[in-house]
Structure 1
Amino acid sequence: MKYIKEIALYIGLPLIFIAMMAFRNANHQTMIENIQKDSHDKGFAVVELFTSEGCWSCPPADELIAKLQQGNNNKQLYIMAFHVDYWDHQGWKDRFSQADFTERQKQYASWLRLNNIYTPQLIVNGRTEMVGSEEGAVLGSISAALRETSAQPLSLNAEQAGRELKITYSGAVPNKKAHILVALVQKNASSQVSAGENAGKQLTHVQIVRRLQQQEAKEQGVITLSLPEDFQKNGWEVIAFVQHKNTGAITQAAKLEW
């Protein structure tokens, strides 16, 4: 009888684990669906993922923001993936990586009083950071941001002139201690990685930041972005947001899709 109980316990533990995982996944899926709902009268969430094609632990974080972006109807959810360049020495150069994005992540380390930078790191509204692949923490932080009071609306307009994009904005709260930043975002791309920690993998990406420009936050103004050679009107968007220079807190945001 003793051995029968031990066998039952041995078999039961994996079943309990499977049941717990299924419950967790179902809960996370419900959270994703709630985040994706249109919510004009609630807060906003600016989600910044620092990632790299050369980092073996980054694909799960890329997959998580892809889940959030797919079927998203929430106009106040702003997702950006910044590909950093400090993994490029590992044998594979990420074609989306930029040194400026590494510097942005270092600035966050200063703002948030962190001892180092890492990937995948995810930051919400410039205030909260976490490992980008930890679904519970990521979804909880985004949900909390969306429950906050709405900010003053920010309006955008874009006009292409040759290889430049002129972004006109209005509605920003004037603040000498804040910047307005404008990001040109490619919504989807993929890479076949042939070296480094992800050698042999086909990686898919969403919301890739290709250009980022900033200036002092005035009530209205114009920011010009140079366009990448592969730019097309379809499959790209502009995200603008106001960020405090001293704390990194993001107080307003808007996006414009073609």
Structure 2
Amino acid sequence: MNLLLPVLSLALLLSGPIALGAELLRFSSGAAPTPVLELFTSQGCSSCPPADRWLSRLREHPQLWQGLIPLAFHVDYWDRLGWPDPFANPAHSARQRGYARSSASRSVYTPGFILAGREWRGWFRGEPLDLPSGAEVGTLTLRLDGDSLRLAFDASATAPAGLIAHVARLGFGLHTRVSRGENAGSLLTHDFVVLSLQQIAARTPNRWITRLPHEPRGERQAIVAWLSAPGDLAPYQAVGGWLPRQRPGAR
């Protein structure tokens, strides 16, 4: 009998993200809330490229996915300046305005950062990213089989009623040559770009099912999901991880 095989199997089970066969992926959060860092940005904003480059460096953050989930929401309200951002979405602008209405942010501007549901201005002062910690709320698990996605939340505390799930597909290594507007002549590169975003109500308590839309853009992609209480934009718990690299010609 080969005693090494059970040891290897146990190591794989304890390693966090799990790939079973060619299709099935599973990612699980810890019990404490995973901090989500949201950047509201635009290719039509001349002060945004430095923030975009800083966010891209978080690809190498030692706590990526397990202790930090960055998201880049491209807004559309600067498109009128002469360059329509190809990743902009009115829903992203509405999300940022929602933070301002709830007083989580003082105003609507780019680049603008929200960390764990609250405005974060440390980037402008050159401060290190100080990740918040919170009491345990429960574990969020994401399972992806092809384009079929399931979320399950096992609460370790009294969770808000009617939790809503959000699922985002992120693109990395996205390049755009800008020909007009404030960044005319620049070649911009983006990571953590929200390419698609779904909001899902639970079918049964703390269980959500959806299909992930096809979105081919990017040299690499990741999947992120987070929960929020009704009427509250702040992520309650979040989970994410890398998607397998697509084979050339694969769809």
CA distance in 1, matches of 2:122, 2:86: 21
Greater RCO structure (CA 8 Å; 6+ sep)? 2
Q: Cα–Cα, structure 1 residues 79 and 87, in superposed 2: closer, same or farther, change >3 Å?
A: same
Task: Tell me, yes or no, if the aligned pair for 1:178 and 1:216 is still in contact at 8 Å.
Answer: yes
For residue 100 of structure 1, report the CA deviation from its aligned partner: 1.2
Q: Under a length normalisation based on structure 1, what TM-score does the superposition of the two structures give?
A: 0.72
Counterpart of 1:120 (choices 111, 117, 122) is: 111
Corresponding position of 1:83: 74
Picking from 36, 47, 53, the partner of 1:46 is 36
Partner amino acid, structure 2, of 1:61: A
Secondary structure of 1:139 counterpart: coil
CA contact (8 A) 1:52 1:58 kept: yes
- Name the SS of the counterpart of 1:197 in structure 2: coil
More helix by share: 1
C-alpha contact (below 8 Å) 1:156/1:256 kept by paired residues = no
Distance 1:206 1:73, change over 3 A: same
With 77-86 and 67-76 compared, the bigger mean Cα shift is at 67-76
Which has more radius of gyration? 1
**SS of residue in 2 equivalent to 1:134:** helix
Give 2:95's match in structure 1, choosing from 104, 116, 141. Answer: 104
- Partner Cα separation in structure 2 for residue 138 and residue 107 of structure 1: 26
Return the offset for 1:177.
4.5
Matches within 5 A, 1:195-210: 195-210=180-195
CA distance in 2 between partners of 1:135 and 1:206 (Å): 22
Task: Work out whether 1:215 is the aligned partner of 2:200.
Answer: yes
Counterpart of 2:19? none
Identity %: 32
1:212 and 1:43 mapped to 2: Cα distance? 20
Q: Deviations over 1:199-231 (max 9, x none)?
A: 111111110001111123531120223222x25
Q: Partner of 1:154 in structure 2?
A: 140
Q: 1:166 aligns with which of 148, 151, 166?
A: 148
Give the secondary structure class of the aligned counterpart of 1:239. strand
- 3-state SS, counterpart of residue 192 of structure 2: strand
> In the alignment, is the contact (CA less than 8 A) between 1:239 and 1:255 conserved in 2?
yes
- TM-score (norm. length: structure 2): 0.74
